[in-house]
Structure 1
Amino acid sequence: MIGQTIRDLRKQRKMSQTELAKILHVSQQTVTAWETGKAEPSSSAISSLADYFNVTTDYLLGRPEKKDDDAKTADIEDDDVIFTYEGRRIPKEDLELIRRIMRGTRNDIK
């Protein structure tokens, strides 16, 4: 699976295996082995591939995006919740402005 992903990313960039090999400091035969499934890239090669193609290592490995079950949510209408930004409390006037923007009613913004 990772081999197909590497191949697809390489082809999107219109690169040859030789060009990719030079960038990653491996042989063209190594890239071929990865793409055909005859070998698996090392963890450092996976990291280099992710950096070069600007993707996550999870994407390369074919892992689905994981939902953050620990994400905290709060209703902006809840006056009992203290909202902060960069460690500072958001003033009530600014929260009201945020509420109006979120509702799409910006015509009364000063």
Structure 2
Amino acid sequence: MLGNNIKELRKAKRMTQKELADTLHVSQQTVGSWETKRAIPGADTLAQLADYFGVTTDYLLGRSEKKSSSEEQETKDLKKFLEDNLDNGMTFGDGKVTQEDREKLEIALTQIFYRYHDEFKKRKEEKGRFKF
């Protein structure tokens, strides 16, 4: 299961084994051995793989069908928050928010969320999270 999941995720990103190996600072042969089930990545490398592919370690190990990482879950949570709050009659001042204002609020809040989300991911990568 683990090897198949690594291979599936790598191919979904249109990466070669060498590109994934370079990203994780391991050899291409190491990636190949994971994918053919001849070797298993250590706990730290497993966490790096999950972070890189945006999935849970449980998904990689075949313990869960849920691919979502916590960041993807936050995106889903934001969407639910917006739907719950904006669809249930949000009000400002004396009156309800119009449909046009509601749409503008949703767009603005979503853009802010993704801007901060992208900045967080960049900072995380810049800190060399995938370096040994």
* Pair 1:34-2:34 in alignment: yes
* Pair 1:45-2:45 in alignment: yes
Tell me which amino acid in the other structure corresponds to 1:5. Answer: N
* Pair 1:63-2:63 in alignment: yes
Matches of 1:30 and 1:6, distance apart in 2: 12
Tell me which amino acid in the other structure corresponds to 1:61. Answer: L
Where in structure 2 are the equivalents of 1:15-30 lying within 5 Å?
15-30=15-30
> What is the CA-CA distance between 1:36 and the residue it aligns to?
0.1
TM-score by length of 1: 0.60
Tell me which amino acid in the other structure corresponds to 2:47. Answer: S
> What is the CA-CA distance between 1:64 and the residue it aligns to?
2.3
TM-score by length of 2: 0.50
Matches of 1:7 and 1:64, distance apart in 2: 17
CA-based RMSD = 2.4
Matches of 1:65 and 1:16, distance apart in 2: 24
Q: 1:65 and 1:17, CA in 2 relative to 1: closer, same or farther beyond 3 A?
A: closer
Larger gyration radius, structure 1 or structure 2? 1
Which blocks of at least 5 consecutive residues in structure 1 are unaligned? 67-97
Where in structure 2 are the equivalents of 1:7-22 lying within 5 Å?
7-22=7-22
Matches of 1:64 and 1:11, distance apart in 2: 20
Which blocks of at least 5 consecutive residues in structure 2 are unaligned? 67-84, 90-94, 97-132
| Equivalenced residues, count | 74
